[in-house]
Structure 1
Amino acid sequence: MAGTGRHAVHRTMVLVDVERYSAPARTLHHQLDTREGLYAVVAGALAAAGVPWDGCYHEDRGDGVFVLVSPEFPKAPLVEVLPEALARAVRGHNNTSHDAAGVRLRLAVHAGEVAFDSHGVTSTALVDAFRLLDADAVKEALAASPGVLAMVVSRLVFEDVVRHCATLDPATFRPVRVAAKEFRAPAWIALPDHPYPPDPAVLAVPPPEVGPEVVPGGPMAEAASRAAADRGGGAGRRGVDIAGGVHGSGPGITIGAATGDHLSIGTPPPPAQQPHDPR
């Protein structure tokens, strides 16, 4: 990394974190076995994607690791090959380890500029990648999956890489809205070893830019999918999708939108009475 000075350089970011690393049943001995297994499966999955471990910058995170991949290695294998290789390697590790040393992983893939200094590496893009990795939506997607891996990719990676992959179906991804600290951004979640059913409707529109975090399969995600299907249907049915409650009865009702705004619909007031002119 010498010679870059204070100038940022482009890298693909691969971040991996162990689910419930500090669970009570996982003793120090189990944690050491877990970490050994983690590094073995990540290095093996990178190799399967054509990326040598020794050719990357990487840092330990105790219960995880992040890897910066040089631009000389294409991004497509990191979303086409690496996730499935990682899931296979994890299952192999779990089959030969104590239950308390078994792992399930969250994987985040992002890309952007990073700057190296004497302490390591930093950048806004790298911070954003960690926000994606730690998003509640990703944790809940993994918790609900019978598989061992949940992957989240940034909007940049989805639009520039996933949509154009020859061996990966982007319709098996689900759009989410990630909100963590000051970070607000759309992203996409996939379950590589237990994929979501293909749903072309989710590709009709990008995930919303702002608002509360959305969890795949939740009511807000389902509403977004229905809205995407309606908007992608071309000419024909037109409608209004309302997120919120409808209150009141009789001549007037109030529709409460998810944004907190309200629209009141009712009988218009009678016209103002004009004063009587005695002439």
Structure 2
Amino acid sequence: MRKTSLLKKLIQDDEILVMPVAHDATAAKLIELTGFKAVSLGGYPTTATLLGKPDLSLATLTEMCTHAKNIAGAVDIPLFADGDTGHGGIINVMRTVSEFERAGAAGMFIEDQLFPKRCGHMEGKEVIETSEMIAKIKAAVDARVDPDFVIAARTDALAVTGIEDAIERANRYREAGADLIYVEAPTTKEEMIRINREVNAPTLAVQIEGGKTPLLPTNELQEIGYNAVAYPLSTLYAAAFAVRNVLEELMHKGTTSGCMDKMIHFNEFNQLMELASLREKESSYSKI
């Protein structure tokens, strides 16, 4: 089964699809190894990983697609990517879809923020007109080569114009052809319930540690009505926390020996990178 078809099927299944976001290819491999069925990619962790900058539309389409290509190539599970605002107008949206397809992503979302966008849980967001976003969605749907490539639509209207407008936009985006709907940053469980009750489409939840949306267990998100849930920053935040700890240990004690129980070691990491199988393949050609 193509990864696009598999992602669409996983979204449509009765069980909620849990998609941790990989900030890099190693995180993606760990996500797959742990048993998750899909992996996601976000602009926030990509910008932080590649540039050491906040999520303020600083990562270019080329940088995002190169990162997506490397992550998609590191795993066998489908990749769901962040298409930002489509990186511009209608023609830019069409190119964005084409580039992510070529990069090996199985789907992507675009959002209705005004460029330059910012992380959906930050203040000061602005949204474009509903009609402009509808045009972008239709262009995205028409641009995809694989009909199973998942096109998701995100609205940030809840924090800007209110929940009624966010729900209305969500339904209109679904009518325009979006396969999955993502109402960004509800602040209460009641808002999450209402969104799923009134939006006539498969829905995506997002769980950010320290963000505006309540952190709920995946089974509770499923009961509310979500079809999928992404964890955009869990691997990035965990990695940053661990790196800071080991660097502080090294700075203050002159050795990392006190952190050995908090690390993957040399041999285990080589196994994760599949060194032995690659060496075996390499040597097989020498024996011919």
TM range (shorter): under 0.3
What TM-score, normalized to structure 1? 0.27
Higher strand share: 1
State the structure with bigger RCO (CA 8 A, min sep 6), 1 or 2.
2
* Structure number, greater radius of gyration: 1
